Structure 1
Amino acid sequence: MDIVDELLKAQRELKDGDVKTLVLRRHYDAEVEDVWDACTDAERLRRWFLPVSGDLRVGGTYQLEGNAGGEILRCEPPSLLKVSWLFGENPGFSEVEVRLSAQDGGTLFELRHSAEVPPEFWDQYGPGATGVGWDLALLGLGLYLSTGGRDGIDENTFHETSEGRRYITESSRAWGEAHKAAGGSPDLVAATVAKTTAFYAPE
């Protein structure tokens, strides 16, 4: 598997405004029920994403180890999961929605992350700050589904490998293209892509 080919399987879109919405769509060669279970079963989720704890039901709360937490807003198996996505001491509005549907013998996976982003942060990193992280997650899910349940990638060391750096660099560029398509100026996009790449794959 060429890992960058995995990157090319996804479509990226940015809806710009007071609330920024990142959209990722890609196809997996697995049945909807299997993808749903991989995304919602705590034991399977930790294999390709992060360990999760909490009251995992609608109205309950969850916490991803070392990452975001929030409330489970909607859960409609096997097609829709929506959660608040809160990170840090003073998080603003942030929600993640995942939709699954049958397509071409597999599953169309669509993720939408909508958030209020401080202007100074957006001007530094643009959509790649969140987008590269989601690209890494979708890569992990793809590898997990295609290898019979072996673990996905190790994000602690992935950026140290040559293929990891390629993947991160191309992901950052792809989100730069989505930013341009949404009206971002070329100079701003170039600066945010450089900052995002340096953050995820420091020299």
Structure 2
Amino acid sequence: MEKSQQAIVLTRTYDAPISKVWKALTEIEQMRQWYFPMLADFKPEIGFTTEFEAGPEGKPYLHRWIVTEVIENKKIAYKWLYPAIEGDSTLSFEIESVERGTKLTLTHSGLESFQANGDPNFEPGSFNGGWTHFIQAFADYIE
């Protein structure tokens, strides 16, 4: 794991073929199983936008994703925004076939743009904890 002011980067190898990993990252029914069960819709298409509420118990935040890059079986990226909170970040999942399965690299950049609001839920440590949870949830789902 690497952390800097600008990004959180987490990498993990899964014992699963790249096509299975790609589908779990991009197909709504699968995303609901390991990621956000409240997702109303998702399409791996540039420009696709979705919104949903999620957050710590008793304090949900409206999330907005706007898909910015799609390279099938390689990469998906989207803007990760909170309409009520100043800030602009980007999340990407990059995958590649390796000898033992599929290597996934998650990068969430632009986190410093949320820090001006003073909410501890937007500190890098909070994001890191969330992504560590999701990387494990993905493993539990995919393997």
- Return structure 1 stretches of 4+ with deviation > 6 angstroms: 122-125
1:128 aligned to 118, 125, 130, which one?
A: 125
Deviation at 1:126, TM superposition (A): 4.6
Counterpart residue number, 2:141 = 144
Counterpart residue number, 1:7 = none
Separation in 2 of the partners of 1:125 and 1:63? 18
Unaligned ranges ≥5, structure 1 = 1-11, 147-203
Could you state the TM-score of these two structures normalised by the residue count of structure 1?
0.59
When Rg is computed on C-alpha atoms for both structures, the one with the higher figure is: 1
AA matched with 1:138: I
1:38 partnered with 2:24: yes
> How big is the alpha-carbon RMSD for the aligned residues of Structure 1 and Structure 2?
2.3
Deviation at 1:55, TM superposition (A): 5.9
Helix, strand or coil at the partner of 1:85: strand
Separation in 2 of the partners of 1:72 and 1:87? 15
1:159-178 → structure 2 map (5 Å cutoff): none
- Kept after mapping to 1: 8 A contact 2:27/2:42: no
Counterpart residue number, 1:85 = 80
- Kept after mapping to 1: 8 A contact 2:115/2:122: no
Counterpart residue number, 1:47 = 33
Identical amino acids, percent of aligned pairs: 24
Helix, strand or coil at the partner of 1:26: strand
Classify 1:104/1:121 alpha carbon distance in 2 versus 1 (closer, same or farther; 3 Å).
farther
Counterpart residue number, 1:180 = none
Counterpart residue number, 1:14 = 3
Deviation at 1:90, TM superposition (A): 2.7
Helix, strand or coil at the partner of 2:36: coil
Separation in 2 of the partners of 1:124 and 1:89? 14
1:25 partnered with 2:22: no
Higher relative contact order (CA 8 A, sep 6+): 2
Separation in 1 of the partners of 2:14 and 2:141? 11
Separation in 2 of the partners of 1:92 and 1:122? 12
- Kept after mapping to 2: 8 A contact 1:31/1:105: no
The alignment of Structure 1 onto Structure 2 pairs a total of residues equal to 132
- Kept after mapping to 2: 8 A contact 1:54/1:60: no
Classify 1:92/1:126 alpha carbon distance in 2 versus 1 (closer, same or farther; 3 Å).
closer
Counterpart residue number, 1:94 = 89
Separation in 1 of the partners of 2:13 and 2:28? 22
